[in-house]
């Protein structure tokens, strides 16, 4: 069983910096891993992944020297188990609104006696014969608080055993609050999440999206942070070059 170095960084109070991969192509995920990100998120909620490609992407991320994380499509026992069976060592579950829903995540994500995950690894079998005994210690299980109601219940949600951290969804939270990112109201909500996580010994985090936001929320105490994404980097790089050469098209 390999060591989840991203999880251990967060346990030490250090930032574990991640990046999103949603294009459904394993090779770009491997390239992102090779840059030096602590974890690469194979996004099964908003990304273009199927089961086979997800497994290949987890392999690619490991080959690139990073830790494969994933976001489940929903808070579903079988959807969560499938992604872990295929080799994810980090899990994010979206739209968790209550402590009971967080308990469902924890139950689905860990083997007994800590949870109720079914034994039957697919791609994860590459982790070796001690996978079943070490997995519960190495997996990082996170939920997303993404609404006004979830923030109001943050203390109860983050108190749930088996949840290691929160990766707040700032865009959906902004929609729920009716206030944009970086507004006073939005910042106050994020700080409530951070306070709840730190109170219960969990890693506070956010889908920051860019350097400025990563720096802002790292300074506020977040350790579970993601920067950009495969799609975003392609667009930014392409736009920068196109703008530099635009004079040739006049």
What is the per-residue pLDDT across 29-80, written as a single tens digit (0 to 9) for each? 999 999 999 999 999 999 999 999 999 999 999 999 999 999 999 999 999 9
How many helices (DSSP H) and strands (DSSP E) are in the chain? 12, 8
**What mean pLDDT comes out for the span 198-225?**
97
Q: Is 8 a catalytic residue?
A: no
**Across residues 6-23, what is the average pLDDT?**
97
pLDDT attached to residue 122 = 87
Can you name the residues that pair with 90 across neighbouring β-strands? 69, 140
What integer pLDDT is reported at residue 207 of this predicted model?
A: 96
Alpha-carbon dihedral angle through residues 44, 47, 49, 54, given to the nearest 10 degrees: -60
Q: 1 falls in which pLDDT band (50, 70, 90)?
A: confident
Domain 9-242 indexed as CATH 3.20.20.60: yes
Q: How far is CA 214 from CA 1, 17, 117, 148, 220, in A?
A: 30, 9, 33, 22, 10
Return d(Cα 93, Cα 113) in angstroms, integer: 21
How far apart, in whole angstroms, are the C-alpha atoms of residue 109 and residue 57?
Answer: 20
Catalytic position from the list 8, 46, 186, 191: 46
Q: Tell me what pLDDT residue 204 has.
A: 98
| The pair of three-digit structure tokens given for residue 105, joined into one six-digit string | 């995540």
d(CA 112, CA 132): 10
Q: Please, which residues have CB within 8 angstroms of residue 233's CB and are 6 or more apart in sequence?
A: none
**Of 38, 49, 39, which is closest to residue 91 (Cα–Cα)?**
39
Does the structure show a pLDDT above 90 at 250? no
Q: Which helix (H) or strand (E) holds 206?
A: strand 203-207
Query: Rounded to an integer, what distance in angstroms lies between the CA atom of residue 104 and that of residue 116?
Result: 9
């Amino acid at each position: 069983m390999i060591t989840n170095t991203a999880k251990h960084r967060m346990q030490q109070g250090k930032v574990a910096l991640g990046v999103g991969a949603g294009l459904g192509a394993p090779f770009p995920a491997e390239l992102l891993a090779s840059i030096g990100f602590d974890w690469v998120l194979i996004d099964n909620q908003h990304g273009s992944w199927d089961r086979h490609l997800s497994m290949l992407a987890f392999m690619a991320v490991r080959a690139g020297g990073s830790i494969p994380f994933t976001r489940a499509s929903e808070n579903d026992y079988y959807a969560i188990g499938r992604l872990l069976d295929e080799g994810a060592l980090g899990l994010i579950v979206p739209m968790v609104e209550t402590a009971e829903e967080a308990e469902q995540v924890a139950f689905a994500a860990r083997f007994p006696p800590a949870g109720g995950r079914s034994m039957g690894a697919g791609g994860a079998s590459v982790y070796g014969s001690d996978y079943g005994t070490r997995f519960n210690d190495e997996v990082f299980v996170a939920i997303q608080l993404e609404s006004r109601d979830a923030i109001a219940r943050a203390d109860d949600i983050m108190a749930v055993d088996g949840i290691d951290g929160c990766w707040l969804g700032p865009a959906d939270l902004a929609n729920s609050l009716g206030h944009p990112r970086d507004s006073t109201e939005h910042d106050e909500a994020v700080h409530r999440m951070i306070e709840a996580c730190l109170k219960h010994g969990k890693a506070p985090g956010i889908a920051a999206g860019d350097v400025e936001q990563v720096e802002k929320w790292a300074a506020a105490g977040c350790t579970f942070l993601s920067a950009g994404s495969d799609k975003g980097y392609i667009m930014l790089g392409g736009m920068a070059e196109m703008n530099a050469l635009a004079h040739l098209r006049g």
